[in-house]
């Protein structure tokens, strides 16, 4: 492989990132034999929002222009059903060529031999040096790399800046301040609540993060390590937002992504926790002139738990491997990365692209840039996806609706974790 090392300044200049126009990385590298690549590449993903689909359409159009002989067929799998369908495809040997891969699901995907290791191809990939080592941690199992980073979800909070300014309240930086602000912003009689809690599908990650915020580990050296007392404190505080303080909408136990986003956009809630991936959607609804703003997640008693969730694309079978690899590495190039950012707000995984002025000079991204300095990966062990979705979330929901005590829910989580790790 030729020596492509250059200074950051030279790289940004060469890539066109010192101005406002992005230029493909490909002109820096030996070009792939695009005319020799063809066939059909199937791609499974779990995008859900309109902005995600718009971003993907732009990326696909750019890919089709660069690789005109490859027919790319995308299929959307609902997030809640994704692992079920993935497993069925592996068992039935009806795999797609490529698939979206999340950190939480990777161990299970590899354990069932559902992904092809691409370590050699990645190590020989000309763009690898622009992806720091921590980008590869979440997609590596036993020294083998199973995907290429497509973009980054950086956890943060949104708050209604106009409401906070009117009340003379600063965005909360700690859990205590958060509770005070949520109470101050709640006017239940008029349908306004301080916080949009995701207690439905997808809410399990918030519950796990809450345990860590109160100081409880989840797994240590492959063994279950939840501290029961700390976990009880965590679940008590989080569930009290609904059961005691009433600062979240009554629908919270079943609210998933769509409900918490609509609640924030329509003025039902003053704060919501999500990640950079929803920025474009909220800006489209509320504009960019001070109605809302992003902020760092408030700190818990022990830790500030904000995830850096790198979303990857991997290969599921060796048929037409070169064309499949062309598709998954394409997401790492500058043009598709910037295009997807413009449509969705999704943060780039490449360190070079993340230093583009369109990111560093945008005040909405200040919280994400700071979170990159301390954010952590989601827990990553075989069985995590099933445990968090099928044990943690239902146990927490039982507390919200009065079907279980906090202690009972925590005991259920601990027992479920032990079962998952057997």
Q: What local confidence, expressed as pLDDT, does residue 35 receive?
A: 60
Task: Please tell me the predicted confidence (pLDDT) of residue 355.
Answer: 76
Read off the pTM: 0.74
Question: Which CATH superfamily does the domain covering 26-152+309-353 fall into?
Answer: Periplasmic binding protein-like II (3.40.190.10)
* Ranges for all domains in the chain classified under CATH 3.40.190.10: 26-152+309-353, 161-269+383-420
Residues 6 or more apart whose CB falls under 8 angstroms from that of 128 comprise 122
Non-local (6+) Cβ contacts of 254 within 8 A are 199, 200
SS3 174: strand
Placement of tokens 């002109």 in the chain: 27
For residue 101, is pLDDT > 60?
yes
Architecture of domain 161-269+383-420: 3-Layer(aba) Sandwich (3.40)
Task: Using alpha carbons, select from 256, 277, 272 the residue that is nearest to residue 154.
Answer: 277
User: pLDDT tens digits for 276-334?
Assistant: 888 888 999 999 999 999 999 999 999 999 998 889 999 999 999 999 999 999 999 98
Q: CA 73 to CA 210: how far, in whole Å?
A: 39
- 10 Å CB burial of residue 19 (0-12, 13-18, 19+) is exposed
Q: pLDDT tens across 54-97, in order? A: 999 999 999 999 999 999 999 999 988 999 999 999 999 999 99
Per-residue pLDDT tens digits for 395-421? 999 999 999 999 999 999 999 999 999
What DSSP element (H or E) covers 358?
A: helix 357-360
Task: Say how far apart CA 282 and CA 95 lie, in whole Å.
Answer: 35
Q: What is the mean pLDDT of residues 366-377?
A: 90
**DSSP assignment of 119-139:** HHHHHT-TTGGGS-THHHHTT
């Amino acid at each position: 492989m030729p020596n492509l090392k250059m200074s950051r300044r030279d790289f940004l200049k060469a890539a066109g990132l010192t101005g406002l126009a992005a230029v493909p990385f490909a002109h820096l590298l030996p070009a792939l034999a695009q005319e020799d690549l063809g066939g059909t590449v199937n791609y499974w993903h779990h995008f859900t929002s309109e902005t995600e689909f718009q971003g993907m359409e732009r990326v696909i159009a750019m890919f089709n222009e660069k690789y005109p002989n490859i027919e790319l067929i995308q299929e959307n799998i609902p997030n809640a059903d994704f692992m079920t369908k993935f497993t069925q495809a592996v068992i039935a040997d009806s795999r797609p060529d490529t698939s979206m891969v999340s950190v939480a699901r990777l161990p299970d995907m590899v354990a069932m031999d559902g992904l092809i290791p691409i370590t050699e191809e990645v190590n020989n990939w000309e763009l690898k040096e622009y992806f720091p080592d921590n980008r590869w941690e979440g997609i590596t199992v036993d020294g083998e790399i199973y995907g290429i980073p497509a973009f980054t979800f950086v956890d943060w909070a949104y708050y209604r800046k106009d409401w906070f300014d009117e009340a003379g309240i600063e965005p909360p930086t700690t859990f205590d301040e958060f509770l005070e602000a949520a109470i101050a912003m709640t006017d239940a009689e008029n349908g306004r609540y301080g916080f949009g809690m995701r207690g439905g599908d997808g809410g399990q990650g918030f519950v796990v993060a809450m345990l860590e915020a109160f100081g409880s580990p989840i797994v240590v050296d492959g063994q279950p390590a939840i501290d029961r007392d700390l976990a009880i404190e965590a679940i008590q505080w989080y569930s009290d937002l609904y059961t005691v303080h009433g600062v979240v909408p009554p629908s919270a136990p079943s609210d998933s992504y769509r409900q918490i986003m609509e609640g924030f956009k329509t003025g039902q809630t003053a704060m919501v926790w999500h990640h950079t991936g929803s920025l474009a959607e909220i800006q489209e609804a509320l504009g960019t002139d001070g109605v809302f703003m992003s902020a760092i997640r408030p700190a818990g008693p022990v830790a500030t738990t904000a995830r850096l969730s790198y979303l990857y694309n991997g290969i599921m079978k060796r048929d037409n491997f070169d064309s499949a690899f062309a598709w998954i590495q394409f997401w790492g190039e500058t043009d598709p990365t910037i295009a997807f950012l413009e449509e969705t707000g999704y943060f780039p995984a490449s360190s070079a692209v993340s230093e583009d002025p369109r990111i560093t000079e945008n005040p909405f991204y200040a919280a994400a840039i700071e979170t990159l300095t301390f954010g952590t990966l989601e827990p990553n062990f075989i069985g995590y996806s099933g445990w968090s979705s099928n044990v943690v979330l239902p146990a927490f929901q039982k507390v919200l609706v009065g079907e279980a005590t906090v202690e009972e829910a925590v005991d259920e989580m601990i027992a479920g974790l032990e079962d998952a790790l057997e």
